[in-house]
Structure 1
Amino acid sequence: MKSRLACSDNVSLPRRLPPAVIALLLQGLAFFLAILLARFTTIPFTPLSLALVVGALAATLSHLAGQARWWVPIQFIFAPAQVAMLAVDVAPTLYLVIFLILLAVYWSTFRTQVPLYLSSHKVWRALEDLLPPMEGRDKSFSLMDIGSGLGGVLAHLSAVRPDGHYLGVEIAPLPFVWSWLRLRLKPNCHVRWGSLWDCDLSQYDVVFAYLSPVPMAELWEKARREMKSGSLFISNTFAVPEFPPQQTVQVDDLHHSSLYIWRM
């Protein structure tokens, strides 16, 4: 099958700034405040204790600024982690290699706010029961995995239901290359490098997404515009604001995942 994928009381900060930029600005403000504290008090700070103060201030500022709750521990640990890394005698090239690997995996997260999430094996098996039944069908079905990551969902479903056609879209370079190598020998399963916003959803019987809370409202509007009548839109873990699912499947995995299902 050919794809048509072109591929509160809290302080309010400007919403047009990406969360990562806001976090960086707050980290800088926390560092400035910590330096002032060290300068105008007699407290004998060590590099690590000063970094802990920076972390505590940054975490507090993130909470007051209304950032998502997962930013609080990130902000707290950032400065102490920097001090700890500098204290370890590690070759600079190792840091460069680690940075490049992380960049290849998470490079789009800054813009999309969708990190790499991997669906569990139990979610893969739960999806089997949501595919169109084999009995009484005179043609194959099609499924798109939006943000297909390492290709686990596609590889599993294409093996257990070879009567389907499967396409994944992934924008992060390293996961895309991994999944392309993993799926290249499966004739009914393909992955494309590109943005989910460039996908045409109109030709798919099932659209599966495991993204983050941020794009769900916009993705839902795209799905309602493009998906054909009777097709299924399935989201792992993240619901659509103000549009309750027609069906929910609870998955007994480590993360207690939920599959939210809408028939279009």
Structure 2
Amino acid sequence: MRRPSGRVMVGAAVVTVVLLVAAAGGAAWWRWDTQRQPRVDDVVTDMNTAVADAVAAAGEDAAVAVSPVVAAADCRLGPLRPGKIFTGKADLYTDPGGEDALITTIERNLPPRYAAGRGTAVAGVRPLQADIGTVTLSVRRLSPGWLAVTARSRCSLGAATEPAAPTGAAPGITAVTQLLAAAGTRPAGITEQRLRCTTGDIVTISAVSERTDTGDLTDRLAPALPSTARRFTTGDANRISYRDGPVSVIVASSDDGTAITAQHTTGC
């Protein structure tokens, strides 16, 4: 068996060195490119602030619940690097027919830096849009009496933080537990979402029940509502939503109809 010639061995060594140098250069470029790309960690505060500002601007004309920032869609940061678009949200529940007026109230009360504008009416409701550079903010009608406030990031790297467990003995924990008990069930899990606003915190305690009967929540839970509550009309929707001063409560069937969700929110 012939041994490789010296020239072949030198050539192989050169190729190996070239490949190592290329790999090192590629790794260095990847680190540099990673550092210059937008990251969700850098805009989470802006997203949460935008949602909190919109919720505060709505005033007491809706029941509200805020949600954590989540990855909402795939995107690309150049040909080789995948990213995510992230959203932070709040749900607003008001009387059907009052959606456009509520968005007008939000538009009027938002801080001037949002420079909010209105889009073309859909089902008689003009959505609101605002761009504050790092994130975009929108308020849209989802269905009769139900509006979505959404703060959206640009395509970004990183990951969303998992929903947190409640800290301390939040009043909302007792409230959602009692509501689920009134429906004949108990929480299978409870999380907390907390947003800062100019005068304090917006805190939503969210509970999902164990598997249970979710039918006719409106009548089943009516006796559990405080006498001072302002209850919003739900039409055919299987939910209860009401406001009692700074406190909002929303109880509804889960999407698959096997559990009950209960949300208790204290405003700023």
TM-score normalised per structure 2: 0.25
Larger Rg over CA atoms: 2
Whichever structure has more helix as a proportion of its residues is 1
Work out which structure has the larger RCO, using CA pairs closer than 8 Å and 6 or more positions apart in sequence.
2
